[in-house]
Amino acid sequence: MSLGDLQNLTILAVAQLGPEAVARQVRELLAQRVGREVAVPTIFVTLTRLEDQGLLKSVEGDHPERGGRRRRIFSVTEKGWAAVQATRAASERLWEGIAPQ
């Protein structure tokens, strides 16, 4: 399975965040570390679709902040790992033989 750029980045962000992988954190991580501003609905749509495809799974989390709402915490499934690794491998294979500019 080949992943889109945003999908790939989202799975990696979820993996990076571990138990803190909620929608807001994923969005903020992408903004800070990759410099990619993603609209709120977009991140929700992306997370939803990845879950539908079986690349991510989610559980109802506890209250991470006092008075905060219940949030959905995402984690990467086996299939998700396979997908990001396949994407990475594909990308690396293409990088091979390209001289650094």
Residues near another protein (CB under 8 A): 22-24, 27, 39-45, 48-49, 52, 60, 69-72
Choice between 4 and 88, CB closer to another protein: 4
Shortest distance, CB of residue 70 to another protein, whole angstroms?
Answer: 8
* Dihedral sign for Cα atoms in the order 95, 28, 54, 59: positive
Write the DSSP symbol of residue 64: S
Choice between 40 and 82, CB closer to another protein: 40
Write the DSSP symbol of residue 55: S
Choice between 15 and 28, CB closer to another protein: 28
Return the CA Rg of the chain.
Answer: 15
Shortest distance, CB of residue 38 to another protein, whole angstroms?
Answer: 9
Residue 15 buriedness (CB in 10 A; 0-12 / 13-18 / 19+): middle
Shortest distance, CB of residue 84 to another protein, whole angstroms?
Answer: 22
